[in-house]
A = this chain, B = another copy of it.
Amino acid sequence: MTTPSFGVPYAPPHPGAPYPATGAWNTSQSAGHRQFHTFAIDRPFSLDGGAALRDVTIAFETWGTLNADASNAVLVCHAWTGDSHVAGPAGEGHPTPGWWEGVIGPGGFIDTNELFVVCANVLGGCQGSTGPASPHPVDGKPYGLRFPVITIRDMVRAQVHLADHLGVRRWRSVIGGSMGGMQALEWAVTYPERVASVVPIATCIESSAQQIAWGAIGRRALQMDPAWNGGAYYDAAPDEGPWRGLAVARMIAQVTFRTDNAFNERFGRDLSEANIHDDGLHFFDRFEVERYLDHHGDKLVRRFDANSYLFIGKAMDLHDVGRSRGGATNAMKRITAPVLTIGIDSDILYPAYQQQTLHGLVSGKDPRTRYVEISSPEGHDAFLIDSHAVGREITSFLSQV
């Protein structure tokens, strides 16, 4: 079997056939290697929302080596604006360094000397997987708003094809924070026999009204940018895309990712250096916190597709493990694997009560199931910023499963 590459049609292996541990996936123990995978090109990929996609591509990266019985595979799931590049320097196809640098690697918290780690860019994304910026099979032009509504379950079902392709019948663990945690939960509920454990971090069993509100407002802001142009901006000059809109949407999210405290400590009421003058107050003068938000908006704009931001955001709003399953309580009963749920005490977007609720629905089934609350001043982003605190809990849990 050859290593799949972008654009090469691929037939899933017979279910249960182990993926040969040739090591071909892995050019370096530390940096991993980006792979592209195409599946189900000959039939449509049916979606939760009623539509279907053709020619679905899923980009993924791997670290470490899959063992002979394919029992050492760990799936890491990324969050909203993440991609498959969990660790390693920036490069082609992954414009930023790894978003969980230090957590994954040889001797790391998720030890790639032992484990085979996989991360896929989600369906709807813009770093190699099929999303709104991908060519529509009918006319070859970007989907834009013709892209169908996708859900977290769709993302997971795409990953199932990837698992089949890799020959992984059962993940040692499925791990993720925020939207990554939603995917971990959907794995455990939809495919209980295919996960030996799951680690949902700073996430929820269903998006709350407040989470929906923040998501919806960000989308409204983005869509107000005239350069968004109803999602048809792919022909725009590089400086004429919906960058202002995407930046404002990102700013809203960025505040919810952090805390009042963290902002006070870091910025207080300092004025931005670029705006100090001696002739009084000006309407467009910025405080330092505004400069920080501008910076984050600007950073995202350079690497992320605005329509992907919209569709993935909508998928998060629609997240509800109980939908069409008789409610969340009922759905969570399907989980048989041990669950390590991690909350963050200062998280204002996914408050710790959500993880406590999650844990309450799975506790008592397996002695290894537990809830850990990380104490951090960083808010939701602590799952990225305080990655060592999170990593230590994962190491301890993985040693038991």
Contact = CB atoms under 8 A, between A and B. Distances in A.
Interface of A: 48-51, 145, 149, 151, 206-210, 212-214, 216-217, 220-221, 224-226, 244-245, 248, 251-252, 255, 259-260, 263-264, 266-269, 279-283, 286-290, 293, 310-311, 314, 317-318, 320, 348, 351
A209 B287 CA distance: 8
A210 B349 CA distance: 14
A248 B269 contact: no
Chain A interface helix/strand/loop/mixed:
helix
Contacts of A48: 281
A186 to B, nearest CB: 16
Contacts of A268: 209
Q: Specify how many copies of this chain sit in the oligomer.
A: 2
Contact of A221 (B49, B221, B314): B221
A48 B280 CA distance: 8
Given A209-B264, A216-B287, 11 more contacts: A48-B281, A207-B269, A208-B260, A208-B264, A209-B266, A209-B288, A210-B289, A213-B290, A224-B225, A260-B351, A287-B317
B145 A283 contact: yes
A138 to B, nearest CB: 19
A226 to B, nearest CB: 5
Nearest to A320: B269
Which among A209, A216, A279, A281 has the greatest number of chain B C-beta atoms within 10 A? A209
Which among A207, A214, A224 has the greatest number of chain B C-beta atoms within 10 A? A224
A70 to B, nearest CB: 34
Given A206-B269, A269-B206, A320-B269, A213 B293 contact: yes
Nearest to A255: B213
A241 to B, nearest CB: 14
Given A213-B293, A351-B260, A281 B248 contact: no
A33 to B, nearest CB: 35
Contacts of A51: 280
A248 B220 contact: yes
A151 B318 CA distance: 42
Given A224-B244, A269-B320, A287-B317, A281 B49 contact: yes
Contacts of A279: 50
Contacts of A217: 248, 251-252, 255, 293
